[in-house]
Structure 1
Amino acid sequence: MNHPRIAIVRLSALGDIINSAVVLQFIRKHRPEARIDWITEAQFAPMLQGHPELATVHGIPLKQLKREKRFGLLRDTIAQLRALGPYDVIIDMQGLLKSALVARLLGPNVHGFDAASAREGAAALFYRTKSRIPYEANIIRRNCDIVAEALGFTVSDEELLAKAPALPVGPRPDFLDDVPYIAVVVGASWPSKCYPPAQLAAVCDALPFPCILVWGSEGEHMDAEAIAAETANARVAPKIGLPALRDLIGHAALTIGGDTGPTHLAWALNRPSIVLYGPTTPRMMFETPHNVAVESDSVVDILRIDKTDMSIATIPPASVIQKAKELL
């Protein structure tokens, strides 16, 4: 494979895509002549747009397909996927039935997790070659190892610590003042991953730089407004798209938030961060001297996540404030 065509399949969620993008620089290092395409859900494609290592980002309208259930849309989507190939190697980084089916539509040379380590074991039926990487392993290591094994190289922890930013960053968004700021991520996919607004307000109030409150849904917007009403040191960001979110986090002095994509962006972009954990664990990040975890006392079984575990609320604001001041 002097000029291999490589397809990465990682459909969702946003945080998983952000934590997967680091593999691109290692593919380029070991396969400098490769053409690399990424297949994802359409709503997340803008996060990867403009990446210098990607030839194409192809968005699939999976949510629209699920909502509308139109045969014509399904037929067109399948035809578009089949037309993307042929690929020399297709890597399913997700290990779900839906991602395995998408990968197989791209061609026969699919590599993925084996049945014991895929999130959905039946996905392994669609792969030509497989890797056994325990599901409970660190997610960044899983991402790197599945790609490295598919392509015949390795990625060390030292290389991860010395990585280049995993996503491109543009200029500082226009709505920000020309002063250092802290990005505070208000929401997450589950309520149990969200640090309570009153406690976030207490954290913001004690920090030396103004806090920009990042939100995605209307519920999160309401929480952000409640936080801003409690402290003069925080203001609510406007509604922004994924490229602007990337730029906002990429210029922040520090990012604070729960276990969610926008918080993990800071690690991806080589910016300092504090990730707050209740029902999940630091398995979801690659800790560095500048990217740290603050955990509740909850005992977490990563194979049986309790989404009702609200223990994140037991993390004292003082612990977050102290860690933030150390990183700043």
Structure 2
Amino acid sequence: MRILLIKMSSMGDVFHTFPALSDAQQKRPGLVIDWVVEKSFAEIPKWHPVVDKVYPIELRKWRKTLLKKQTRLEIKTFFEEVNQAQYDLIVDAQGLLKSAWVARKINAKTAGYDWHSAREPLATLFYQFKYPVAKEQHAILRLRQLLAQSLNYELPKNAPIVYGLNTLAWSKPKLVVEQFAENDYWVFLHGTTWETKYWPEEYWIELLQKANAMGKKVILPWGNQEEQQRALRIASTTEPENVWVPTEMLSLNDMAKALKNAQAVVSVDTGLSHVVAALEVPMVVLYRVTDPKLVGADGAKVTRLESPCAPGYIKQFSGKEQALQSLEGLSVEDVFSALINQIGLYDDIA
């Protein structure tokens, strides 16, 4: 059986899909899945062994330039390529009008969420098969339930989350080996989108010093100039041999391999936290102003710390009092204790 999965973005959404693929692979031997995904994430789906062909789509770009001849040609070429394959079923795992539009242009019947379950109910008008999936659940469970109904197998209650990525052969990137040889290292993912999601710089500095005191090296990755400058400031507070700020932004593959081979990770609410969860590396994630209940990083080795402000999705603090409240439960000691508990190193600090 060959199916086409439509799950185009974002990074978190892509990684949330993997446990459903692991279920399907186990329950439907011989299953092959092709995947339509935004071009910027195109290298990720093939990390799962059940995925065969990946179709990178540039829907975000197309929507801005629909009137251009070149865009219309790109759209035509994309769907001609996809329609060369024969699919037993398309599964729209996004439940949006844009994903339904993509599904409709491909020659196969489509399954998706029903009217009460889809994020944009009008999308369901384009599906031949529609399934109820309760909204007040984590995205990972919703996707698992959707695929189970679409492919007609039973999903056991409280089944463990298994990402099932094919990463056994992933070695440390050469750049990491050059910095730390075979020493254990931690990764601190300090960059995120909203200013209110940040963990204070002085907290990172104190956590870095605690890590170094245990003999742990630390990588401080970055994704833009602001994050690079923050990483350099944090790194400047310790000896150069104990911390590494990459001189160039790491590629997604190098970043993933660096995360996979880390002993532990501390992260704010950012897309890379979902990568770490899927790689099954011990991680503590800090939710200062966002609620992890429905879309947070999740997995067997994930510890989530939430402030009282987490359910509020606060993009701007009302004042100093709220800003301080948003750090309750997220002190350096809270984070360090959770991390040590996650990786089982109490004997090392006793």
TM-score norm. by structure 2 comes to 0.83
Instruction: Please name the residue that 1:141 is paired with.
Output: 141
Task: Give a deviation string over 1:236-278, Cα, whole Å, max 9, x none.
Answer: 1341122212211111111111222211222211211111112
Is the 2:88–2:108 contact (alpha carbons within 8 Å) kept by the matching residues of 1? no
Instruction: Please name the residue that 1:228 is paired with.
Output: 235
Q: Does 2:271 align with 1:274?
A: no
- Given the alignment, which residue of 288, 296, 309 partners 1:298? 309
Task: Give a deviation string over 1:124-162, Cα, whole Å, max 9, x none.
Answer: 22222222223331121112111111111133365424x
Task: Tell me the CA shift for residue 321 of structure 1.
Answer: 1.1
- 1:298–1:26 CA distance, 2 compared to 1 (3 A): same
Task: Tell me the CA shift for residue 87 of structure 1.
Answer: 1.6
Task: Tell me the CA shift for residue 50 of structure 1.
Answer: 4.9
**Structure 2 unaligned spans of 5+:** 318-322, 344-350
Matches within 5 A, 1:252-267: 252-267=262-277
Looking at structure 2, the residues matched to 258 and 167 of structure 1 have their Cα atoms a distance apart, in angstroms, of 26
Is the 2:189–2:268 contact (alpha carbons within 8 Å) kept by the matching residues of 1? yes
Instruction: Please name the residue that 2:346 is paired with.
Output: none
Instruction: Please name the residue that 2:220 is paired with.
Output: 213
Instruction: Please name the residue that 2:78 is paired with.
Output: 80
Report the residue type matching 1:227 in the other structure. Answer: I
Looking at structure 1, the residues matched to 24 and 201 of structure 2 have their Cα atoms a distance apart, in angstroms, of 41
- 1:103–1:210 CA distance, 2 compared to 1 (3 A): same
Looking at structure 1, the residues matched to 238 and 132 of structure 2 have their Cα atoms a distance apart, in angstroms, of 49
Matches within 5 A, 1:124-139: 124-139=124-139
Instruction: Please name the residue that 1:308 is paired with.
Output: 316
Task: Tell me the CA shift for residue 188 of structure 1.
Answer: 2.2
- Given the alignment, which residue of 144, 161, 182 partners 2:186? 182
Looking at structure 2, the residues matched to 167 and 121 of structure 1 have their Cα atoms a distance apart, in angstroms, of 35
Report the residue type matching 1:87 in the other structure. Answer: Y
Is the 1:263–1:275 contact (alpha carbons within 8 Å) kept by the matching residues of 2? yes
Question: Which has the larger displacement, 257-266 or 6-15?
Answer: 257-266
- 1:134–1:308 CA distance, 2 compared to 1 (3 A): farther
Looking at structure 1, the residues matched to 20 and 108 of structure 2 have their Cα atoms a distance apart, in angstroms, of 22
Matches within 5 A, 1:1-328: 4-69=1-66, 70-85=68-83, 86-156=86-156, 159-161=159-161, 163=162, 165-168=164-167, 170-176=170-176, 177=180, 178-207=182-211, 208=214, 209-232=216-239, 233-237=242-246, 238-283=248-293, 284-285=295-296, 287=298, 290-298=301-309, 300=311, 305-308=313-316, 312-314=326-328, 315-328=330-343
TM-score norm. by structure 1 comes to 0.88
Is the 2:114–2:121 contact (alpha carbons within 8 Å) kept by the matching residues of 1? yes
Task: Tell me the CA shift for residue 164 of structure 1.
Answer: 5.5
Report the residue type matching 1:143 in the other structure. Answer: L
Larger Rg: 2
Looking at structure 2, the residues matched to 25 and 299 of structure 1 have their Cα atoms a distance apart, in angstroms, of 30
Looking at structure 2, the residues matched to 191 and 113 of structure 1 have their Cα atoms a distance apart, in angstroms, of 34
Task: Tell me the CA shift for residue 76 of structure 1.
Answer: 2.5
**Structure 1 unaligned spans of 5+:** none
Alignment RMSD (CA, Å): 2.4
- 1:168–1:312 CA distance, 2 compared to 1 (3 A): farther
Is the 1:165–1:270 contact (alpha carbons within 8 Å) kept by the matching residues of 2? no
Q: What number of residue pairs does the alignment pair up?
A: 321
- 1:299–1:221 CA distance, 2 compared to 1 (3 A): closer
Looking at structure 1, the residues matched to 39 and 292 of structure 2 have their Cα atoms a distance apart, in angstroms, of 28
